[in-house]
Amino acid sequence: MSNTADNITIERKHSHVEICLQGDVAFKSKTTGFEQFEFIHNALPELSLCDIDLSTTFLGRKIGAPLMISSMTGGYSEAATLNQHLAEAAERFKIPLGVGSMRQALENPLYRDSFAITRKFAPSIQIFANIGAPEIAKGLRKSEISIMLELLEADGLIVHLNAAQELFQPEGNTNFRNVLEQLELLTNKITVPVIVKEVGCGISATVARQLLEVGVSVIDVAGAGGISWQKVEEIRYIRQFGQDNRFSLPALDLLLNWGIPTAQCLLDISELKKEHSEFIDIEIIASGGIKSGTDIATSLALGAQLAASARSLLKALYEGTLEKTIDTWLNDLRAVMFLTGAATIEELRNKRLTFKQ
């Protein structure tokens, strides 16, 4: 990788974190959809609060709670500190962790430590490698897969599909040809599960089906309603090139708010899973705008195996409240379980939701 390309990537990673923390990057006219649902109160829960067990399983392993820290960063020196803190929190709560895109670790060994540090501080949890669709489209070599997996002693590889982000990114790669075909080759040659996620525009049932048919094990919906990555990249674009007329104003408004709400993705993919016995074992991750224990609870009742969060936890990390935030979310989840009469996460998954009046 040339120095210039290296610098662009480091600038991008830095500004992603800075803009996510400070910028106006929320969807303007779209929500996750979680607010439309509520659980039916159970006046006779027949359990004590202290009976409630938050543990569950993910990809066949027991985890402390149905929450994951989503893929975020790595690949520059400050990212090592961020990844260390995320790993420490994940280890404390015994929850899975994803790292950010590992493209730089493949291109330059200098950047590998900022990813590898996660395993040092989280020896007992599931950690997932991460790479983007444009890299997949080019075809990953076996040696590249090994580097990513060995660096983290990874439990799986996450592939992110981020067409809208690339479309808005000043240096974006908009060649998404052959991704599905290459994913099929990947699932055939890799020894760990492949998880496919979006980054905030959601995965439809149609796309989920295509992914499952080529051997993907987990769909992380990363739906709309939380952060709009189009907005993040639009801010970077304006900083670099000023305001211009790439898109007409009505189209810009539509594109910045483009995406399938998280709750809609969950409903549609759960339905697909129910209708097709061959997909019975696949797991669904609810992400995109998760910001509370009640969001986690609603996600599970909508069919998710667990929920995952990125931006809210990153903000908490910067405010020095990461572990407190996770604690609060899990307490809220426990409260919902108590009031619905669910002693276990499995029981919560079977609780009915109603549409709010």
Least Cα distance to 134 among 79, 182, 100 occurs for: 182
Angular region, 70: left φ>0, alpha ψ -120 to 50, beta rest: beta
Q: Does 236 bind ligand FMN (CB under 6 A)?
A: no
Burial 20-44, CB ≥16 within 10 A → b, else e: beebebebeebbbbbeebebeeeee
Find the binding residues for ligand FMN in span 120-139 (CB under 6 A): 130
Yes or no: say if 229 and 165 are a contact pair by the CB < 8 Å rule.
yes
25 binds ligand FMN (CB under 6 A): no
Chosen residue from 17, 86, 203, 265 binding ligand FMN by CB under 6 A:
17
| Residue number of the CB atom closest to ligand FMN | 226
290 binds ligand FMN (CB under 6 A): yes
Q: Does 289 bind ligand FMN (CB under 6 A)?
A: yes
Residue 285 makes contact with ligand FMN by CB under 6 A: no
Please select the residue that binds ligand FMN; options are 310, 336, 342, 348, rule is CB under 6 A: 310
Per rule CB under 6 A, count of chain residues that contact ligand FMN = 27
CA geometry: angle 225, 230, 235, nearest 5 deg: 120
CA 200-204-207 angle, 5° bins:
110
* Structure token digits, residue 185: 């080759």
Among 100, 156, 193, 341, binds ligand FMN (CB under 6 A): 100
Binding mask 40-79 for ligand FMN (x = CB under 6 A): ------------------------------xxxx------
Considering only 83-91, 193-201, 294-302, 343-351, which stretch makes contact with ligand FMN by CB under 6 A?
Answer: 193-201
Please identify, among the stretches 40-48, 184-192, 305-313, 331-339, the one whose residues bind ligand FMN according to the rule CB under 6 A.
305-313
CB of 291 to ligand FMN, least distance (A): 7
Strand runs (DSSP E) across 118-168, as ranges?
A: 127-132, 156-160
Among 30, 160, 236, 349, binds ligand FMN (CB under 6 A): 160
Q: Which stretch binds ligand FMN (CB under 6 A): 105-113, 221-229, 266-274, 347-355?
A: 221-229
| Rounded to 5°, angle at Cα 93 from 126 and 99 | 40
Interface residues toward ligand FMN, by CB under 6 A: 16-17, 20, 70-73, 100-101, 130, 158, 160, 197, 199-200, 222, 226-227, 287-290, 309-312, 314
